[in-house]
């Protein structure tokens, strides 16, 4: 009865204006902007944000649903359900208020003045019909002011010389538009420059601008004024005198006398029984004794102490004084250690795990449960190291389970890593202050996988360097060793492997001896969440070159196939690169579009000239790729055979576009998306026709799909449901690949693919 009652209430409230006629009020249904003059989007787009009054919200195409719930629950005969919906989800109608109109006009004029339009003209018209009102704003920007000249006025000769020496960094330039945000940014640049050169007491109150518009030709003269501290008192540069570091213990020290102060080369230290190397603190405290005060170094010290990951509280206070005509700054650093041991237990649900090769045989995938237990030990060797042990255990249902246990697969993994807050063996680079987050990670992992088809054991050892600079993170793995051992459990799979060289390489034991270098770039923080870019580029991964050079030099014997082996394993030799680019443009708080382009190429050669190792190949399909296909179920190229197992490739091209929009109260979101891509072999394939990459046909072999998505955004977690259908399927013969031409109810039901995911796909 709930739905009929609710619908009846909503239908009774459909004629909203009937409720308003007696009061002669008008329901505000929105506004419209008509801008004449300046057409630059960076000027015109923000104008609408300054309209003060917002209409009632819509939900799933239902006009002002929250207001309808409010009216339905406000009637005398409304039941408990309607009253509950009114109180918890209803919204009173938004009535037209002319005070908001006047405030909107004032705000829009203020905004236009801030971007150089000093004399805009804004009028408005209220259009009403059946007690509904819409406001039309007519905006005439008129002529914009440009900066004709920019000069510096400063009474202090030292400060004047410093600013002139960095004049090429000025943000205010002749010929540019007069914009308030640029003037504020220039003010901040000047303050930062002076505070980074010793002027401890210098603040923005000493920087102002004179803007002269008297010439009436819409060109202005801008003067930057730097004021003295007092009428005759110049600003003094400050030097760092002493640094005191006090570690506050995590235990009750009543009746306990602190240890004697330890004097190092840079600071005075009271450890309070907390054991940490002075060398670690020396590297982190980049504020230098007897050097000029530098705000940037102070901020960097906060960052470096935080990156040690051993202190839960960091506070740096300062005191300035003058002695013998020299201004000094003393620092007092208070540190509170974080807990030494902790653990994290994380349950997981598995849906179509793309790590499994056998999720592509039909309309089913992998389902199961997993758990992760992570243990952390901080400051394990008294140099702020972090030791992490991670155990992951999972059970899965893979494929059909008729006649056997439902959970027919398991995977167990144990990973151990130790993170050092420095670049080991790279002392010169480690000392550079331009980089943050410098660390060295040594890691090892062991994986055991068992299912009805095979057993797999993987052992990995690696050393990784990481460091950051502003919006870019760099990573370099000088050596990674990965050994994989496979045992076949299925006689059917064993027979297939013996007949297919590609499957044989997939399930052969393999050894990777390689290195990798790359970087991530993300400017989201810089753009404040508006249009931003993410880029990950694994610039180069190279494997097998050094052992081949050594084997060539010592003239090691080769196996019967003409390849070198290590521990009876034919090690892999290849080069690989992968490029992942994403562009997110946010139109407003409710609408955004995200684009992604992924390209990857791997070339086997030398000791393994035909095939990349399975772990280094590319696939498409699944919840974070081509959502109209199941994981690992398309490619390579236009090759397809019944009961095909291997869908991998050496080359991958994938493009995605997704429009995201708010559906209801921020927690429910919708999406419309298009995915396209495929994988190919890098070398001509004599067995699998059209599996290799060719310039004259690769673009004809894209799989293309589209669909709709619903996302439940609970802030701490986002649950995603995506429904997709294929449009273009390269596994069909040319001329029949636009499968959307076969669209009917039965085809739609058979080809609709459901994807479940946690977080956005990209």
30 pLDDT band, cuts 50/70/90, is: confident
Q: Which residue has the higher pLDDT, 454 or 598?
A: 598
pLDDT at 350: 67
pLDDT at 353: 44
- Give the distance, in angstroms, between the CA of residue 582 and the centroid of all CA atoms in the same chain: 9
pLDDT at 366: 59
370 pLDDT band, cuts 50/70/90, is: confident
- Closest CA relative to residue 133, chosen from 91, 89, 100: 100
pLDDT at 21: 54
3-state secondary structure 191-224: HHHHHCCCCCCCCHHHEEEEEECCCCCCEEEEEE
359 pLDDT band, cuts 50/70/90, is: very low
pLDDT at 33 over 90: no
554-577: average pLDDT:
90
For the stretch 417-449, pLDDT in tens is 999 998 998 888 877 767 777 899 999 999 998
361 pLDDT band, cuts 50/70/90, is: very low
Angle between helices 180-195 and 295-307 (to 10 degrees): 80
Q: Which residue has the higher pLDDT, 535 or 404?
A: 535
3-state secondary structure 443-505: EEEEEEEECCCEEEEEEEEEEEEEEEECCEEEEEEEEEEEEEEEEECCHHHHHHHHHCHHHHH
562-591: average pLDDT:
90
CA distance 658 to 584: 10
Judged on CB neighbours under 10 Å (0-12, 13-18, 19+), 684 is exposed
Token readout for 541 is 């991964």
pLDDT at 87 over 80: no
Neighbours of 44 (CB within 10 A): 16
pLDDT at 15: 52
C-alpha dihedral (536, 542, 543, 545), degrees to nearest 10: -170
pLDDT at 251: 56
Instruction: Identify the structural domains of the chain with CATH numbers, from first to last.
Output: 2-140 (3.10.20.310), 146-226 (3.10.20.310), 238-337 (3.10.20.310)
Q: What percent of the chain has pLDDT over 70?
A: 88
469 pLDDT band, cuts 50/70/90, is: confident
Q: What percent of the chain has pLDDT over 90?
A: 43
452-457: average pLDDT:
82
pLDDT at 398: 59
For the stretch 377-395, pLDDT in tens is 999 999 999 999 999 998 8
13 pLDDT band, cuts 50/70/90, is: very low
CA distance 686 to 695: 18
43-65: average pLDDT:
74
pLDDT at 759 over 70: yes
Q: Which residue has the higher pLDDT, 257 or 141?
A: 141
Q: What are phi and psi of 382, to 5 degrees?
A: 70, 15
pLDDT at 19 over 60: no
70 pLDDT band, cuts 50/70/90, is: confident
pLDDT at 406: 58
For the stretch 103-123, pLDDT in tens is 999 999 999 998 888 889 999
Q: Which residue has the higher pLDDT, 414 or 77?
A: 414
> Do the strands 409-420 and 386-398 form a parallel or antiparallel pair, or are they unpaired?
antiparallel
56-62: average pLDDT:
62
Judged on CB neighbours under 10 Å (0-12, 13-18, 19+), 452 is middle
For the stretch 695-732, pLDDT in tens is 999 999 999 999 999 999 887 888 899 999 999 999 99
> What's the mean per-residue pLDDT of the chain?
84
642-651: average pLDDT:
85
For the stretch 155-203, pLDDT in tens is 889 999 999 999 999 999 888 888 888 999 999 999 999 999 999 999 9
CA distance 483 to 485: 7
pLDDT at 54 over 70: yes
User: Which helix (H) or strand (E) covers residue 557, if one does?
Assistant: none
């Amino acid at each position: 009865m709930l739905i009929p009652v609710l619908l009846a209430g909503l239908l009774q409230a459909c004629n909203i204006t009937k409720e308003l006629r007696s009061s002669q009020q008008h329901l505000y249904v929105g506004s419209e902007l008509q801008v004449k003059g300046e057409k630059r989007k960076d000027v015109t787009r923000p104008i609408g944000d300054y309209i003060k009054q917002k209409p009632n919200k819509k939900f799933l195409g239902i006009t002002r649903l929250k207001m309808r719930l409010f009216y339905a629950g406000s009637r005398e005969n409304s039941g408990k359900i309607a009253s509950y919906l009114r109180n918890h989800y209803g919204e009173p109608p938004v009535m037209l208020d002319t005070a908001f109109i006047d405030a909107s006009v004032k705000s829009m004029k203020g905004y236009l003045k801030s971007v150089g339009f000093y004399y805009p003209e804004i009028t408005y018209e209220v259009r009403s019909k059946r007690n509904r009102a819409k406001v039309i704003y007519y905006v005439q920007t008129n002529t914009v002011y440009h900066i004709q000249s920019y000069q510096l006025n400063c009474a202090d000769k030292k400060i004047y010389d410093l600013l002139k020496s960095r004049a090429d960094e000025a943000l205010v330039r002749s010929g540019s538009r007069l914009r308030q945000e640029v003037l504020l940014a220039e003010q901040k640049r000047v303050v930062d420059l002076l505070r980074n050169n010793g002027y401890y007491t210098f603040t923005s109150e000493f920087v102002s601008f004179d803007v002269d518009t008297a010439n009436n030709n819409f060109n202005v003269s801008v003067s930057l004024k730097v004021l003295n501290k007092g009428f005759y008192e110049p600003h003094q540069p400050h030097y760092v005198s002493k640094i005191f570091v006090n570690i506050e213990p995590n235990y009750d020290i009543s009746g306990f006398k602190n240890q004697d102060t330890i004097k190092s080369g840079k600071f005075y230290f009271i450890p309070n029984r907390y054991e940490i190397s002075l060398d670690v603190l020396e590297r982190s405290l980049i504020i230098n004794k007897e050097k000029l005060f530098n705000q940037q170094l102070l901020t960097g010290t906060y960052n470096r102490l935080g990156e040690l990951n051993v202190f839960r509280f960091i506070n740096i206070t300062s005191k300035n004084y003058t002695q013998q005509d020299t201004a000094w700054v003393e620092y007092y650093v208070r540190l509170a250690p974080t807990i030494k041991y902790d653990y994290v237990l994380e349950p997981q649900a598995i849906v179509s795990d793309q790590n499994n090769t056998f999720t592509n045989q039909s309309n089913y995938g992998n389902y199961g449960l997993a758990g992760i237990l992570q243990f952390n030990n901080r400051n394990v060797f008294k140099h702020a190291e972090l030791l992490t042990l991670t155990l992951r255990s999972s059970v899965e249902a893979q494929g059909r389970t008729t006649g056997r246990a439902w959970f027919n697969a398991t995977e167990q993994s144990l990973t151990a890593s130790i993170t050092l807050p420095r670049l080991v063996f790279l002392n010169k680079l480690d000392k550079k202050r331009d980089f943050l987050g410098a660390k060295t990670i040594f890691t090892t992992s062991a994986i055991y996988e068992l299912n009805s088809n095979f057993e797999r054991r993987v052992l990995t050892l690696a050393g990784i360097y990481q460091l950051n600079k502003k919006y870019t993170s760099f990573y370099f793995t000088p050596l990674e060793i990965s050994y994989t051992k496979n045992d076949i459990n299925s006689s059917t799979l064993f027979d297939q492997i013996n007949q297919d060289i590609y499957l044989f390489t997939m399930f052969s034991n393999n050894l990777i001896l390689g290195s990798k270098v790359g970087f991530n770039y993300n400017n989201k923080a810089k753009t404040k969440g508006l249009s931003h870019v993410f880029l990950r580029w694994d610039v180069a991964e190279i494997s097998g070159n050094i052992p081949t050079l050594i084997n060539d030099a010592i003239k090691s014997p080769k196996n019967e196939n003409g390849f070198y082996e290590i521990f009876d394993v034919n090690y892999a030799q290849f080069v690989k690169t992968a490029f992942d680019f994403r562009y997110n443009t946010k139109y407003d708080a409710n609408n955004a579009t995200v684009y992604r382009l992924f390209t990857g190429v791997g070339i086997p050669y030398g000791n393994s000239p035909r095939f990349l190792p399975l772990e280094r190949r590319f696939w498409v399909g699944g919840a974070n790729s081509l959502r109209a296909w199941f994981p690992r179920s398309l490619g390579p190229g236009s090759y397809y055979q019944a009961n095909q197992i291997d869908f991998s490739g050496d080359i991958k091209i994938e493009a995605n576009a997704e429009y995201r929009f708010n559906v209801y109260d921020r927690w429910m979101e919708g999406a419309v998306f298009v995915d396209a891509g495929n994988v190919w072999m890098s070398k001509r394939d004599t067995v699998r026709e059209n599996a290799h990459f060719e310039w004259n046909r690769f673009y004809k072999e894209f799989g293309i799909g589209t669909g709709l998505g619903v996302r439940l955004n609970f802030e701490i977690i986002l649950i995603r449901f995506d429904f997709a259908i294929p449009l273009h399927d390269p596994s069909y013969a040319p001329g029949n690949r636009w499968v959307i031409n076969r669209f009917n109810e039965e085809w739609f039901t058979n080809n609709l693919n459901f994807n479940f995911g946690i977080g956005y796909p990209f």
